[in-house]
Structure 1
């Protein structure tokens, strides 16, 4: 019986390892190609495990120096961090109000916000462009940040209100009120610190959405100075980089690195935060 259990576990672990390897192959291939010379990246003679003489960092050098990726990368960081902070600034009190307060139209407003999550963004690109053009926010990082924040906000509200409603008992706030705290004081001193895992999960979600956003940056910008890295790769594809796959894959690696690092640092908080939803 014990041998059968061990055999079953071994088969399970081997199957999981093979599945993980299969899922990671595209990412490994991207990293491999980014570390090759231009000739080795397109040569059919290059093996799955390339020779040492085929390895080079020239792809990263080209993407930084030749294609001004420093500006695009910095723009992505600015937009993503700003959009994350703005969405949290409005979604935390908004989600708490939906979860705890009883006011006229509460359900209607909440379900309206949830409905916007399911609404295809592509359908409203023209109205959004016209509004932002009227406000003078076209070709500005402010406009891109505001657009992304607006469309991330309903999703973070939905995520946080679930945690406030199910993850934190109401008697904690009642005890704080009995101790002399005001409602705002109880929220800031007790509820908000206890909600740190959920806020961390919402921050990660907002950052990833803003970092990977393509549509609004593509629609609202045309100048290179305000492009983010996601849109920049689209334009690089139309250049002669089509013959330089090592540079293109280097750009992809650089684009993927910050979200992976951010997730690795906040993984523990994300699990705790999503557990209360």
Structure 2
């Protein structure tokens, strides 16, 4: 019996190791290519682990200097953080209202918000563009932030509403009201601090959605000054560096780094926040 259990465990770990290797190889290949010279990146004789003479930081230097990636990177940070903050400012009270308050049209409004998550964004690109054109928000960071905030909002409302409804017992608020707190005071001083894990998870998903968004930035911008890094890679891919794979992979590594760091910092909150949904 012990041998069978040990054998099953070994097989399980072996299967997990194969799966992890299969999943991590593409990421390793991206990072490997970004540190190679342009010739070594396309040379089939270069091994899986390249020699030291083939490793260089040249691609990262060129992506910053030649293609002004610092501007695109800064725009991505500004847009993503702003959209995350704005969506949380509206979704936290909105989700709490959907979870706790009873008002006319509550279910209709909530399911309408949830439905927009499943709605394909590509279908409404033309109406959205026309609205933003009339408002003078084309080719502006303000327009991008507003667009991403609007489309991130239903996602954060859905996530936080589930946590407020299932993760926070109602008797906590009742006890706060008995102690003399107002409803707003009970929410700000008791419910909101207890909801920090869910807010952290919602912030992470909002940030990732805004950071990785391509469609709305591509539709609402044509000036390089307001492009984000995600859209900039698209234009780099179609430029004269089509075969300079080391530069493209360096851009991908730089694009992936902030979400990875953000996830690492908020990993504990994400697990706790999703546990209450």
Cα drift, residue 11 of structure 1? 1.4
Provide the C-alpha distance between the structure 2 equivalents of 1:12 and 1:115, rounded to a whole number of angstroms.
Answer: 39
Matches for 1:92-111 after TM superposition, within 5 Å: 92-111=92-111
- Pairwise CA distance, 1:98: 0.3
5+ long unaligned stretches in structure 2: none
1:136-147 to structure 2, matched below 5 A, reads 136-147=136-147
2:270 aligned partner: 270
Q: How far apart are the structure 2 equivalents of 1:271 and 1:86?
A: 23
> CA–CA distance in 1 between the matches of 2:11 and 2:261?
32
Q: Which residue of 2 aligns with 1:130?
A: 130
Q: Does residue 38 of the first structure (1) align with residue 60 of the second (2)?
A: no
Displacement, 1:43? 1.2
What residue in structure 2 maps to residue 205 of structure 1? Answer: 205
Unaligned runs of 5+ in 1: none
RMSD of aligned residue pairs (Cα, Å): 0.6
Partner of 1:195: 195
Alpha-carbon distance in 1 for matches of 2:114, 2:18? 38
Distance 2:96 2:45 in 1: 60
Greater shift in the superposed pair: 194-203 or 46-55: 46-55
1:57 paired with 2:69, answer no
Structure 1 Cα separation of the partners of residues 254 and 134 of structure 2 = 35
Matches of 2:189 and 2:148, distance apart in 1: 30
2:252 matches 1:255:
no
Please state how far the C-alpha of 1:3 moved relative to its aligned partner.
2.2
**Deviation above 3 Å: which 4+ runs of structure 1?**
none
Normalised to the residue count of structure 2, the TM-score between the two structures is 0.99
Look up the match of 1:157.
157
Q: Which residue is 1:86 aligned to?
A: 86
